[in-house]
Amino acid sequence: MNNVPSVAIVGRPNVGKSTLLNRLTGKRQAITEDLPGTTRDRLFIPLSYGGRDFMLVDTGGLAGAPEDGIARSVNDQVREAMKQASVIIFLTDAKTGITPQDEEIADEVRRSGKAVIMAVNKVDNARLSDHAVEFHSLALGEPMPVSAYHGRGAEDLLDRVVELLPPPESAVSEPERLRIAIAGRANVGKSSLLNTITGEERVIVSAIPGTTRDAIDTSIDFSTGGVVLIDTAGIRRRGKVERGIEEYSVIRSLNAIDRADVVLIVLDAGEAATAQDTHIAGYAKDNHRGLILVINKSDLLENVDMTEYDRNMAARFKFIHYARRLYVSARTGEGVDRIIPAAFEVQAERSKRIPTPELNSLVRHAMAKHAPPSIAGRTLKVLYATQVGVCPPEIVFFVNDPDLVHFTFQRFLENRLREVFGFSGTPIKFTFKGRGEKK
């Protein structure tokens, strides 16, 4: 949806912007918490309403005089959202009335020259409807009373959005985009990596762990094809995750892995790989996603024996031995240009299909070379094999008795398949069925 217009929801902190986005989309897309500063990066959600497609953009609260780097970065993100938007929803709060901060934001919205909807939130009853009238003084048109929490006025607001959208462009069918999740522990450089790949400050970068909270989608076109890059919050060990914002952030990150085609497991070259790193990789493997290990901050390894370092890295992640390892530096840009081509290569491997005759020929030769171990005097026989799916590759083996399949033989078969057919960067899903069972 690169060419669709965008609609930015802006306002000061804690007026209900994320709650409104969730109400308009009908899903809990954005993290909501009664705490100023919960939303930081821009969150883009595609929406279809009234026969029009557009991108709804949630933003952080615009602060009048930001006191720290993150707050200043949030302001930059909000202003970029307004710059790119076709329509701005300026959201205010009926319960608190007009504040000096509202007046400052109203001035900035007017200067943008964009179509504006003056929305007054938290109008939960008729008494508060009267409060909406005072927002006329901001000179941004007729105030629209809404209640993001209760849903009051949501459809009227969407109707007004559609009225203000620019005329639709000629519909052009867009090919499916490769979905790439950028996952890893907190503070390994995921957001820096996304910004370097895209060539813009798409998400806020800070040395403070937990800066990224939502899973942020970024659509971008490369020579190899279109992709959606999904930046995610850092995932900590279950016992270390605090309830509330961080808990929701972790859930968003795991959901991002679930909807990705390829997952970049980002590691910090300056630190030894941890159990949490392997846990994240294991989650992606168990969900049959394509996998690439991206070792960031490689500029810290100038005086390191790379052969030994890479050998240790391979040993730490031997359970995904098929995953490619890329050494990059988001800070200097070194090696970052190899990431997207590598992701497309992994997706091609995930999409590979083996002709049934070639597959069965390989199985026969493998069985002749390495007979499976007998169990209780019985020996496994593979009667027939066929590939039944791609993304991930899924192979069904029909055998005389599935209980005779030992994990060492399954591992042998997988290694043989990879030797002959590749499948680099992707798990292979094996299913063993007894004689006469359906595919």
CATH assignment of the domain containing 373: 3.30.300.20
**261 or 237, higher pLDDT:** 261
pLDDT average, residue stretch 108-118: 91
Please state, in angstroms and as integers, the Cα–Cα distance from residue 43 to each residue in 56, 75, 123, 374, following that order.
Answer: 8, 14, 25, 56
pLDDT of residue 245: 36
Backbone torsions φ then ψ of 434, nearest 5 degrees: -80, 165
Q: For residue 303, give both structure tokens.
A: 């005086």
pLDDT average, residue stretch 364-392: 87
The CATH number that applies at residue 344 is: 3.40.50.300
The domain in which residue 58 lies consists of 6-164
For 200-210, how does the pLDDT look when each residue is reduced to its tens digit (9 = 90+)? Answer: 765 433 343 44
Is residue 234 very low, low, confident or very high in pLDDT (cuts 50, 70, 90)?
Answer: low
Name the residue among 39, 35, 47 with its Cα closest to residue 6: 47
Q: Return the percentage of the chain with pLDDT > 70, whole number.
A: 82
**Domain-located, residue 171:** no
Please state, in angstroms and as integers, the Cα–Cα distance from residue 251 to each residue in 24, 218, 233, following that order.
Answer: 21, 19, 9
Same structural domain for residues 267 and 302? yes
Q: 139, 164, 189: which is the final residue of a domain?
A: 164
Pairing of strands 43-49, 52-58: antiparallel
251 Rama class: left (phi>0) / alpha (psi -120 to 50) / beta:
alpha
One-letter identity of residue 399: V
The conformation of residue 147, written as its DSSP 8-state character, comes to B
Backbone torsions φ then ψ of 185, nearest 5 degrees: -65, 170
**Domain-located, residue 1:** no
Lowest mean pLDDT, pick from 38-52, 200-214, 329-343, 421-435? 200-214
Same structural domain for residues 323 and 220? yes
For 336-376, how does the pLDDT look when each residue is reduced to its tens digit (9 = 90+)? Answer: 999 999 999 999 999 999 999 999 999 999 888 888 877 77
CA 282/CA 407 separation, integer angstroms: 18
**Domain-located, residue 170:** no
Same structural domain for residues 92 and 147? yes
The residues facing 265 across adjacent strands are 183, 293
Same structural domain for residues 32 and 155? yes
State the chain's mean pLDDT as an integer: 83
Q: What angle do CA 51, 54, 57 make, to 5 degrees?
A: 145
**Domain-located, residue 113:** yes
For 131-167, how does the pLDDT look when each residue is reduced to its tens digit (9 = 90+)? Answer: 788 898 898 988 999 998 888 899 999 999 999 999 8
One-letter identity of residue 228: V
Same structural domain for residues 205 and 136? no
**369 or 266, higher pLDDT:** 266
What is residue 150's three-state secondary structure? coil
Same structural domain for residues 159 and 11? yes
The conformation of residue 319, written as its DSSP 8-state character, comes to G
Same structural domain for residues 369 and 413? yes
Q: 107, 133, 164: which is the final residue of a domain?
A: 164
pLDDT of residue 251: 63
pLDDT of residue 32: 41
